[in-house]
Amino acid sequence: MTNPVTDGIDQVKTWIVKRHPDRQDIAGDLDLIENRLIDSLSFVEFVFLLEQVSGRSIDMDTLEVDSIRTLDAIEQHFFTARVS
Partner 1 sequence: MDIVSVTRVRRLLDEHGEEFFTRMLVPSELADCRTSTGLDVLSLCGRIAAKEAAFKTLRVRNRFLPWLDIVVQRADGGWPLVDLRGSAGRMAAASGISQITVSISHDVDYAVAVAAPILTER
Least separation in angstroms between residue 38's CB and partner 1 is: 10
- 24: phi then psi, degrees, rounded to nearest 5: -95, -30
CA 6 vs. chain centroid, Å, equals 12
41 is an interface residue for partner 1 by CB under 8 A: yes
Q: Where are the alpha helices (H) located in 1-84, listed in sequence order?
A: 4-19, 40-54, 71-74, 81-83
Query: Of the two residues 5 and 17, which places its CB atom closer to partner 1 in the complex?
Result: 17
Using the contact rule CB under 8 A, the part of the chain among 8-16, 24-32, 61-69, 71-79 near partner 1 is: 61-69
Least separation in angstroms between residue 44's CB and partner 1 is: 5
